[in-house]
Amino acid sequence: MRTRMNVYFPPEILRQLIDLADRKHISRSSIVEAAVMSFLSPDGADRSEAAFTRRLDRLSRQIQRLERDLTISTETLALFVRFWLTVTPQLPPEAHAAAQTKGRERFQSFVEALAQRLERGKSLLREIPEDINASFSQRANDGEDGKLSATPGDKRI
């Protein structure tokens, strides 16, 4: 059911409305109804703004995850270097050449293992929370205080 409504247009707009109705072979009421519906519905700018807002929110969440992952990576590296420097004794000068050769071999093995993990899509950052939860659960079951150990007798790094 439709309700009748009288509207007044300036002569130029009325001429454009009549011309469009004649060209498209549709009623004037249909054109006016479509125009009013278009005016009442969100316009293209509002839809674009909403889409941009959703994209910006998604990008913000991705940046937060990247910052978290970078913090984990940085802290992991710093902790490893600190631990390694603490527990590794200095080599005598006559052992340097052999140590460098062995170091190159071990580094090459490391790079190959890294390449394999990346090819399979594995991520240490995704495994860390699982390992931490499992470690804390195990320590809680064993009655330990849950702190990391650098050496068997040391409770802190």
pLDDT tens digits for 114-134?
888 888 887 777 777 777 777
Could you tell me the residue range of the domain that residue 22 belongs to? 11-41
Number of domains in the chain: 2
How far is residue 115's CA from residue 126's CA, in Å, rounded to a whole number? 17
Q: How many CA atoms lie within 13 A of 110 on its CB side?
A: 6
- Among the listed residues 9, 12, 10, 31, the one whose alpha carbon sits nearest the alpha carbon of residue 20: 31
Residue 36 lies in a domain: yes
How far is residue 62's CA from residue 75's CA, in Å, rounded to a whole number? 20
Cα R_g (the chain), whole angstroms: 35
- Among the listed residues 39, 34, 26, 156, the one whose alpha carbon sits nearest the alpha carbon of residue 86: 156
Residue 35 lies in a domain: yes
- The structure's pTM equals 0.45
Residue 27 lies in a domain: yes
Residue 113 lies in a domain: no
Residue 77 lies in a domain: no
Residue 25 lies in a domain: yes
pLDDT tens digits for 46-86?
778 888 999 999 999 999 999 998 998 899 999 999 999 99
Residue 26 lies in a domain: yes
